[in-house]
Amino acid sequence: METADFEMLRNVIENFSIEGTVLSAEPYGSGHINDTYLVVEEQPKGRRRYILQRMNTGIFQNTEELMENITGITRHLVEKIKKRGGDPMRETLHVIPTREGRSYYRDGDGSCYRMYNFIEDAASFDAVKNPKDFYESAVAFGNFQSLLADYPAGTLHETIPDFHNTGKRFQTFLRAVQEDVQGRAVNAQPEIAFVRSHEADMTVLTDMLERGELPLRVTHNDTKLNNIMLDNETGKAICVIDLDTVMPGLSVYDFGDSIRFGANTAAEDEEDVSRVSLDLNLYELYVRGYIEGCKGSLTENELRMLPMGAKIMTLECGMRFLTDYLQGDVYFKVHKKDHNLIRCRTQFSLVADMERKWEEMEAIVKKYADQ
């Protein structure tokens, strides 16, 4: 790191309530949203490490509300973990306050920074190395749901409004088809027809929420493996990280997005859709781990709708890719011709395979829900 960059970061770090001499601050991790640094300090009792992040205020425009969500959630988690006899210093993130007692620091340029404890002797992975990792992530996200089951989800701010409002995303899709600003609709007629044929699915979950048939929950909304810290020695999941998208929502959203991402036999942009399918073994592994982690906190309707969560999250993701393709690739980064069209085809192929395996998906959930 250049000396000027290090000096700038050191000036930022000195605004947080930590004592010691800053030895280094280096870029860290593989995240694409925030700028993340590993900070090493020399303190009287030895060296300590922290995570410093410059938050992306373009995506998360209300820093105050974002940090209110995170501080509220992490304080609740600390108390719950203590009551369970766990180690809160390793099992949840801790927001390090500024010297003025705030949850983040805003510099003279308007950049916003926050600092967390560094979780030692643990690591996160971008891809599933073995099925056990996928199972551990299921247990961790289920445990996250269990620990926050009594948190007043309605008090959380929506950091990204209507993030999983599939009905509204469907309306946005219809406008994109009608406007066809890039003249691309002609290339995507089968995909457009696929979305239209699933119109009845779009509001199933939100309608159940409105009728009180599904409870409003604290949801993570980015339930990928790389947002889980796994203990280096045991391989067990110990902590859920990246809490920026924590919002009020439905438990089946988090479950469904994990299945969409982790139980697909192909890459998200696989061009040969014959390689796309739902791996029922991985699906069952995740169902078992998630239900186990939830520790009985899910309602009967939530358990019953887990397969629908997987289907709707996959359908919604594909619809978002298709909408972006029609609008000119303005949201998702693309790296080749028709990239978003390819991505949507992969998602829709996975939806179709789920529908073929629907009875098996439901039977697997019932098997573990009844235990």
Q: Where are the domains of the chain?
A: 3-120, 131-369
How high is the pLDDT of residue 126? 77
Does the pLDDT of residue 278 top 90, yes or no?
Answer: yes
Kindly report the average pLDDT of the chain as a whole number.
94
Rg over alpha carbons for the chain, rounded to the nearest Å, is: 21
Does the pLDDT of residue 277 top 80, yes or no?
Answer: yes
The three-point CA angle 178-190-271 to 5° equals 115
Closest C-alpha among 26, 25, 23 to residue 46: 23
Confidence of residue 358 (pLDDT cuts 50, 70, 90): very high
Better pLDDT: 361 or 124: 361
Better pLDDT: 331 or 271: 271
User: What b-and-e string marks burial along 133-164, b requiring 16 or more CB atoms within 10 Å of the CB?
Assistant: bbbbbbbbbbbbbbbbbebebeebbebeeebb
Does the pLDDT of residue 366 top 70, yes or no?
Answer: yes
Structure tokens at 113: 């920074």
How high is the pLDDT of residue 203? 97
**Tens digit of each residue's pLDDT (9 = 90 or more) over 225-249:** 889 999 999 999 999 999 999 999 9
**Stretch 157-182: mean pLDDT:** 95
**Tens digit of each residue's pLDDT (9 = 90 or more) over 73-128:** 999 999 999 999 999 999 999 999 999 999 999 998 999 999 999 999 999 887 77
Does the pLDDT of residue 5 top 90, yes or no?
Answer: no
How high is the pLDDT of residue 51? 96
The domain 3-120 having CATH identifier 3.30.420.310: the answer here is: no
**Tens digit of each residue's pLDDT (9 = 90 or more) over 23-52:** 999 998 766 678 999 999 998 888 999 999
The three-point CA angle 8-10-13 to 5° equals 115
Does the pLDDT of residue 314 top 90, yes or no?
Answer: yes
**Stretch 355-359: mean pLDDT:** 98
Closest C-alpha among 254, 237, 259 to residue 124: 237
Does the pLDDT of residue 1 top 80, yes or no?
Answer: no
How high is the pLDDT of residue 32? 66
Does the pLDDT of residue 219 top 90, yes or no?
Answer: yes
Q: In this structure, how many other beta carbons lie within 10 angstroms of the beta carbon of residue 268?
A: 15
Does the pLDDT of residue 2 top 60, yes or no?
Answer: no
How high is the pLDDT of residue 299? 97
How high is the pLDDT of residue 273? 96
**Stretch 297-322: mean pLDDT:** 97
Which CATH topology does 131-369 take? Answer: Aminoglycoside 3'-phosphotransferase; Chain: A, domain 2 (3.90.1200)
